[in-house]
Structure 1
Amino acid sequence: MSTQTQTKGKTLLVTVGSTQFAELSDAVLAESTIAALRAAGVSTLIVQLGFAPIPAHVAAVVGREGGKGEVGGLRVEVMRYTGSPGEMDALMRSADGVVSHAGSGSILAALRMPRPLLVVPNDALMDDHQQELAEALKEGGYLSVSDVDQLAAGVQEMFGTQHKPFPPAKPERFAAILDETAGFV
């Protein structure tokens, strides 16, 4: 009896956090991006897209409110939101890479896993704070940055780049700053 072994491809998690970033979810679910991800070795795509509409070719497979199915040769799971921060952490831990909007909470969660991270700032937001945060962390060597139009190339760069480990959290430093600010020291 012969055993056939299949190589497990990469799992990619895409998250927009609690915002709506339809440009990112539309780009990652576009047929051309799905084909490029598959060619890059991604076999499973998990997309958390908030209230953004699910593209018709994907909704025909996973449903209008999300679900699981095969799209363009990838296993695709689409969800509106996770049930808890712990659920998002579990998804990040199970992923080989994360694509995220440039929200600070999502960025820090992925960097602390640690997982390769591609940040796509939402340039429709006021004051470009997402772009500034993403660029500062890229300059530090912690993550990759892309725009929506270069998403597939950004994912390939993310998987091909060795990022620096993000420093661990030091809650005692925050407590000391808080104590000093409040005049307890």
Structure 2
Amino acid sequence: MTMSDKKTVFVTVGTTKFDDLITTVLNRAVLEALSARNYRHLILQIGNSKLEPDCTARYGFHKIEIFRLSPSIGEYLQLADLVISHAGAGSVLEALERRKHLIVVTNDLLMDNHQIELAEQLYKDEHLYYCTCKNLLHVIQTMDFAKLKPFINDNSADIANFIDKVMGFR
């Protein structure tokens, strides 16, 4: 088996607590769906969670590891073939700028969720997939990254303006 047959999934919740995303990704059906697409290594950045996830290799995954916070997720993003991220603008843009395959999972428990608008816009622009925890499995089963367009960073000013507008800063 070459390295390319063993793809890595990096899950990030940023500095937030998004236990629903962690437990969803570790669900048997989700692990099996990822494994069916040749993902074999799972790295979970679990933020301020109190969860103690089971890191036993299982359902096709050879390695599952977790950490809470890191000064930079850059090295993990670099390793990843697929990023499953909370909808924080920083994490989303960093993954896109590194041209990573990206699924953004919005937290429907957040009341004032401007993050959904950012994820929706980037989805409409065909840069990523987005979903809630409830339909993550379906997205993994049906995603086709060949249909997405690379995110070109020359419009980050537009995105910053868009975020400011959505957040009500202007």
TM-score band by shorter chain is 0.7 to 0.9
Tell which structure's C-alpha radius of gyration is larger. Answer: 1
Paired residues of 1:117 and 1:158 also in contact (CA < 8 A): no
Paired residues of 1:13 and 1:99 also in contact (CA < 8 A): yes
Bigger shift: residues 155-164 or 43-52: 155-164
Paired residues of 2:33 and 2:140 also in contact (CA < 8 A): no
- CA drift of 1:159 comes to 4.8
Number of corresponding residues: 156
Structure 2 distance, partners of 1:54, 1:40, is: 26
Letter in 1 for 2:7: K
**Identical pairs, percent:** 36
Query: Structure 1 116/29 Cα, relative in aligned 2: closer, same or farther at 3 Å?
Result: same
Deviations 1:156-185 (A, max 9, x none): 4445443212122578x69xx9xxxxxxxx
CA RMSD of aligned residues (A): 2.3
Paired residues of 1:143 and 1:158 also in contact (CA < 8 A): no
Paired residues of 1:11 and 1:44 also in contact (CA < 8 A): yes
Name which of 27, 46, 53 aligns with 2:24: 27
Name which of 92, 109, 131 aligns with 1:146: 131
Query: Structure 1 15/46 Cα, relative in aligned 2: closer, same or farther at 3 Å?
Result: same
Structure 1 distance, partners of 2:64, 2:47, is: 16
Paired residues of 1:17 and 1:50 also in contact (CA < 8 A): yes
Counterpart for residue 153 of structure 2: 168
Name which of 17, 33, 38 aligns with 2:35: 38
Counterpart for residue 54 of structure 1: 52
Paired residues of 1:146 and 1:154 also in contact (CA < 8 A): yes
Q: TM-score by structure 1 length?
A: 0.75
5+ long unaligned stretches in structure 1: 63-68, 178-185
Deviations 1:92-148 (A, max 9, x none): 111111000100000010000010110011111122211111101101111111110
Residue 76 (structure 1) aligned with residue 73 (structure 2): no
Q: TM-score by structure 2 length?
A: 0.81
Letter in 1 for 2:108: D
Letter in 2 for 1:116: H
Structure 2 distance, partners of 1:161, 1:24, is: 25
Letter in 1 for 2:80: A
Give the secondary structure class of the aligned counterpart of 1:109.
helix
Runs of 4+ in 1 over 2 A off after TM superposition: 5-9, 155-162
Bigger shift: residues 18-27 or 69-78: 69-78
Paired residues of 1:116 and 1:158 also in contact (CA < 8 A): no
Bigger shift: residues 32-41 or 153-162: 153-162
Paired residues of 2:101 and 2:145 also in contact (CA < 8 A): no
